[in-house]
């Protein structure tokens, strides 16, 4: 179980590098307005699986990100 948890943490760190927080901040307003979808962000902008894009675009990402960065 600990191995799986470490893998999940590593994936979140990788996602934070591949989908920078500043990019998220730029995409958040059009996403919240329904002008761009998770699928579009995943395919056209960050080239990541939609499930990870959904995590980054969620409101909980700020907390996860702050915990990872030690803030």
The domain in which residue 28 lies consists of 2-69
Query: pLDDT for 7-44, tens place per residue?
Result: 888 999 999 999 999 999 999 999 999 999 999 999 99
Residues 6 or more apart whose CB falls under 8 angstroms from that of 60 comprise: none
Predicted TM-score (pTM) of the model is 0.87
Position with higher pLDDT, 14 vs 5? 14
> What is the predicted pLDDT for the residue at 6?
80
What is the dihedral angle through the alpha carbons of 44, 9, 17, 29, rounded to the nearest 10 degrees?
A: 50
Q: How many domains does the chain have?
A: 1
Above 60 in pLDDT, residue 64? yes
Above 90 in pLDDT, residue 4? no
């Amino acid at each position: 179980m600990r191995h799986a948890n470490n893998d999940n943490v590593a994936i979140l760190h990788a996602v934070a590098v591949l989908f920078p927080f500043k990019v998220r901040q730029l995409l958040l307003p059009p996403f919240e307005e329904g002008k761009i979808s998770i699928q579009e962000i995943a395919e056209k902008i960050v080239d990541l699986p939609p499930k990870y894009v959904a995590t980054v675009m969620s409101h909980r990402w700020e907390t996860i990100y702050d915990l990872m960065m030690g803030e």
